[in-house]
Structure formats: C-alpha cells, structure tokens
Amino acid sequence: MSSEPLWRPSPGRARAAQMSAFREWCEPRAGRALSDSRALHAWSVAERGPFWTAVWDWCGVVGERGERALVDGERMPGARWFPDARLNFAENLLRRRDVSPALVARDERGRRRVLSWSELQDEVARVARALRGAGVSAGDRVAGTLPNGPEAVIAMLAAASLGALWSSCSPDFGVQGVLDRFGQIGPRVLFAVDGYPYAGKLHDVRERVAEIAAALPSVERVVVVAGSGDAPATAGIRAACGWRDFAGDAAPDPIEFARLPFDHPLYVLYSSGTTGPPKCIVHGAGGTLLQHLKEQRLHADLRTGDRFFYYTTTGWMMWNWLASGLASEATLVLYDGSPMHPGPAAVFDLAEQERVALLGVSAKFIDSARKAGLRPRDSHDLGHVRALLSTGSPLAPEGFDWVYEAVSSELQLASISGGTDIVSCFVGGDPTAPVWRGECQMPGLGMAVDVFDEAARPAGVGVAGELVCTKPFPSMPVGFWNDPDGARYRAAYFERFPGVWHHGDFAEWTAHGGMIIHGRSDATLNPGGVRIGTAEIYRQVETLDEVQEALVIGQPFERDVRVVLFVRLRDGSVLDDALRDRIRQRIRANTTPRHVPARVVQVADIPRTRSGKIVELAVRDVVAGRAVRNREALANPEALEAFRDHPELSG
C-alpha cells in the first residue's frame, strides 16, 4: 500500500466543497463540532432522523416534510421514513424554468440537441397531459425501451409527475429480455425507439418492438420515437403512434404535480443476475430523491449549472442516478452510442467539447482506455473536469494510476459502489479528503456500512468479509413486485444476517477509513476452504499487455475447489506455456499461492451483462453443466458456449 495518497484537495478546494459547508451547517443540529467528514458520518449514522432531515432542508426539497423523520427506526426491514411527508419526484427535478440548458444530447453520428429548462418543462407537460388522457394515473406503470436521450428523461418525468411508476430497458435488449421485465409489471403505455446507432451501425428494431407490443396485453398505447430516420416508423406495431402525435405541440398548461407519500413507488428496476428471472425491485420517490441529492451534492460536489455526464444506458441504474442531477439544477449531458466509436477517445472528446465538470464511466471503460494506450491529458483540455466517477465493478489500483498519470493529476477520482438494489451507493467519494490507490474514499453519509465475518462480527481493518448495512436507510426498496408478504424481499437481503442488510459484496476496510471492494461474494473462490476475492486475481492478470480481459471461477475438483482462469488475449497474442507461466508468476508474486489458477484457458470472448459486468456465476453454471436461466441479461450470450464441455477442464 502506498504511503502517500494519489491526490489531495487543496485547502481552498476542500473549504469550497459542499461537504464542508454542509458539515458546518449541521454542527448546531449535532450540538457539537464536526471536525471532518468522518465526524459528520459518525453523527449521520448515530442520529439518522436529524441527519436526513438536514439533507431535506439543506437541499431544499420541494414538498411538505412533516415533523417526523423516522418511525420504527431500528426495524430492518420495517422502518418508516418521513411518514407525514408529501412530495413529487418530478417537481423536484423541474424546479427551474429558464432558457439555460437542462439537457444536452449527443449521439455517435454527431447529432446534438439542446433543451432549455423551459423547453424541458413544456415537453414534460405535453407528455403528462397525453398520459393522463390515455388513462394513466398514480400507481400505473409506464415503460420505455429507449436510448439515453431526451425522450427517456421526458417520459420518466411525465410519468412521475402523475405518480405513475417508470421502468426502462435499453433498446439493445432482446424480445425475451424485455418481456421478462415488463411482462411482470404490466405497463399501460410503452415508449419505444424504432432504431438506434451503435459502433457505426444503425440497428433497426421495429420488428422487435412490434413483437414486444403484441406480447404485452397490458399495453394500451405504444409511443414510437424516431431513431432510424426523421419520422418514427409505426407500421406493424399494435396501438402505435409517433411521439409528436401523442404529445401534441400546442402550448401546454402548467404541470399538475401529484404530491404523494414519501415512499410512493417511483421506479421499477431489475436485478441483472443470470441465475433466474429478474427481480422487479420497486423504489420509492422520497428515498431515491434524498439519496441522490446527498450523493451528488455532498459526495460528488455537483453544483448548480455544472455539466454532468455519466456514460450509461437506460437499462442501468446509473441512468436513474444521472437523471436526478436535474434536482441539483445541473445540465445533463446525454450520449447515445458506443463509448469507443469512432475511436477510444470518444468519451473524452465529448467531455472536452461539452465542458463536463463531473464525468462518470465504468471501471471497465477505464481499463479499456488504459489498455488502448490513451493519454487524454496530452490530447484534450480537461481542466474543467473536477471529478471522475467510476463504478460497475471494482476499479483496480492500476486504474487509479492511469487516471492520475494519463488523464489529470488535478481531479478527484471517486470509485463508488452500491447497486440496483438500493438505486444508490454504500461507499463513495469525499471531495474534502485524499484519494488512496485502489480505495473507495468513505462510506455514504447516513449509511451504517460495515464488513462482517462469517459469524456476523465486524471484521476489522484489512480483513475481507461481507459488506453489510446495520441500520435502515431511506433508499431501501419499497419491496419487490408481486411479493405481497415481502418474503422474497426479506430472503434476498436479510436471510444471511437477520435484521442486517447483506449486500452480497466481498469487501474490506482500509487504514484510511476507506473501503476496497473485492467483487461479488457469491463469486468468491474457496480453494482449500480459504475465501478469495476474484478482483485480487483480475488486478494482476490484466496488467499483462497480452491479456485484454479475464474471468475466474472456482470449479469443484477432487473434493475441493480449484481456481480456473479464462483469458481473452489481444489480437496476435497466443496462450503458450511461457505466457501461462508469466500469468501464474504474476499472481503468485503479488497475492498468495492459493490465488494461482490450476488452469489457465484461452477463450475468444468473455460473457458480460448489458451494463458491462462479467458474469462469473453464469460461466460457473455452464462449466458445471447447469442451465443459465436468464440469458437475456447478457449482452453476448453466445460467448457462453465456448465454456461448455471445455476439454481443458475435464481433468
């Protein structure tokens, strides 16, 4: 571990951060001095009601808060947040109305659209009026299979203004993948694009949309967005009309925001696992809003007027997180297309051209950019980027090095980690504190995060264990869809440690008060009965120039478990005995002998989810001869076949 941090905020920058201002503002409420963000976190966990009330007031949440912040505050699940409150999520994201930009939308074909705050409000009002005319009301579901463009944001806000639930998939989902999700929740209105660009190609999905609409009897109207041409193609799609035909273009009346209880359902998100049908996770409006305001304003220091970009699709929870940036009066930069088209610097081109202040990517993107040899600091003006956020999977220490060597030494690199399950983060950034190599900076404010050993005891610094949260927090799911007694919900998070949220990540505290995420705990390896995080192996293997990416599993073998490493190599590289030896030596030298794979196997591709996460569990099932039930969660399900009955794994 390095003895020096990779980055420290200057004293002036630390003082200017909203984290510092909020901390000082909270001191009278705490009745004591809060010397730094660690002291603020300790108070936020000990006094969760006053803390979340402070977040509401500091962020100026629009609505009636009520006097009670927390009832049954030690029950998990079962705690009730702001039981007397009334608010509307969309009203909080549309608090501004002027001619400055609210949305800047780009695609890989070079098209650029800008919507001002006034134009955004007007279009949301038109779509909300049309939804109401179509019979949609509070509690109904509205769904979208849309790219990351203005229409997705507008449709979501229009649905939320009525109190309807919004759910979305990216348009690259196959028919069965969409039906596995929307078929469970029964949307009344479906928004769909007829085509989308990706990696230099225009993908026509009209037949797919027609098949989806035909298989969803609950859908009464399909609103088609033009993606493949100047006008939407609606022929052959049941109950279809174009966006403008649906919304109209007359001057709209002011939006009638339905103010509803704090935990009124807002979103349905889906687990991305491959071991069964997706879980339909229902998130409430108030908890989502408070968590995102806290994370973006305090942990990420998002400010009014900032340009905020996160590379995401509408099928990943980071799209929902990005959309909430409107509540901080930031300008959202939306992008539709491949992050590597027309070249690997496409994201940095966009960040430079749009003067992005907060730039968000996946850890996989950082690794790909590093392996492509990019040095944006030599080719781009990125002085306006205050923070680079990374999530989706653990960011390797080498990724930290690359950011500070090749991107900028002045920005804050915030490796953040949470999940679809909480539509937010357990650990995140701290703009007032140093960045240490390989570490998430701090636990989220108001989040009683800890690491447990197998006996449900705190594991202590430097000891890997299960990531947990020991006290309730506002963005816990309202529940699962079609789970009336909550049995599936409780089994998912509270079965392992009763009364404690068990997240399923393998993690450890650091000496700096930060956290290292080692990957999913259900994918940990157990050779000789010793638990090993897969991220420790990836960090070593992917430093080798020949290795493009890797996937590791534990395979039952001779009454034990052996480590099997699959590698996808760069073009022109060959997995010979010399490279196998180098891989094993690198792992042995930097981890332990137990980490060294018994088998190193070359494959042509690594299967991953549509948000870019590699799927160790699916590969483990295929190697063991078990079926992978939710193949539609994968971006490249055909890649699984290379792992089936592989001759190098039979002995």
Please tell me if the domain spanning 101-258 has the same topology as the one spanning 524-649.
no
Spatial CA neighbour of 451 closest among 382, 528, 531, 527: 531
pLDDT over threshold 90, residue 228: no
Sign of CA pseudo-dihedral 124, 125, 128, 129: negative
**Cβ count near 8 (within 10 Å):** 14
All structural domains of the chain with their residue ranges: 11-88+262-519, 101-258, 524-649
pLDDT at 309: 98
R_g of the chain computed on alpha carbons: 24
**What predicted TM-score, i.e. pTM, was given to this entire model?**
0.90
Positive or negative, the CA dihedral 36, 39, 44, 47 is: negative
Range 101-258 classified under CATH 3.40.50.980: yes
> What is the rounded average pLDDT of the residues 33-45?
98
| Four-residue CA torsion sign, 207, 208, 214, 219 | negative
Extended beta strands in 547-623, E state? 547-557, 560-569, 599-602
- Check: CB of residue 445 under 8 Å from CB of residue 26: no
CB 331 within 8 Å of CB 314 = no
pLDDT (mean) for 462-490: 96
Please tell me the distance from the alpha carbon of residue 500 to that of residue 496, in angstroms, as a whole number.
8
Handedness of CA 598, 602, 607, 613 (dihedral sign): positive
SS3 556: strand
The pLDDT value recorded for residue 137 is 98
- Does pLDDT of 2 surpass 70? no
Whether the predicted pLDDT of 45 surpasses 60: yes
Q: Where are the beta strands (DSSP E) in 109-208?
A: 112-116, 141-145, 165-169, 189-193, 195-198, 201-204
Residue 519 has a pLDDT of 86
Residue with tokens 């659209």: 113
Closest alpha carbon to 23 in 358, 445, 427, 450:
445
Residue 635, pLDDT score? 85
* Structure confidence at residue 526 (pLDDT): 80
Query: What is the rounded average pLDDT of the residues 127-134?
Result: 98
Q: Is the pLDDT of residue 246 over 90?
A: yes
Q: How confident is residue 605, by pLDDT bands cut at 50, 70 and 90?
A: very high
The answer to whether the peptide bond before residue 77 is cis (omega within 30 degrees of 0) is yes
Strand order in the sheet with 515-520: 449-452, 465-469, 501-509, 515-520
Predicted pLDDT at 102? 98
82-95 pLDDT per residue, tens: 999 999 999 999 99
What's the pLDDT at 521? 86
What CATH number belongs to 524-649? 3.30.300.30
- Read off the amino acid at residue 488: R
- pLDDT given at position 610: 79
Question: Do strands 70-71 and 80-81 pair parallel, antiparallel, or not at all (unpaired)?
Answer: antiparallel
For 273-328, how does the pLDDT look when each residue is reduced to its tens digit (9 = 90+)? 555 678 999 999 999 999 999 999 999 999 999 999 999 999 999 999 999 999 99
Q: What is the pLDDT of residue 166?
A: 98
Span 11-88+262-519 CATH architecture: 3-Layer(aba) Sandwich (3.40)
- The pLDDT assigned to 275 comes to 54
Write out the DSSP string of 120-137. Answer: HHHHHHHHHHHHHHTT--
Say what the pLDDT of residue 611 is.
Answer: 74
More confident residue, 531 or 555: 555
Using the predicted structure, report yes or no on whether residue 467 has a pLDDT greater than 90: yes
Q: How much is the mean pLDDT over the chain?
A: 94
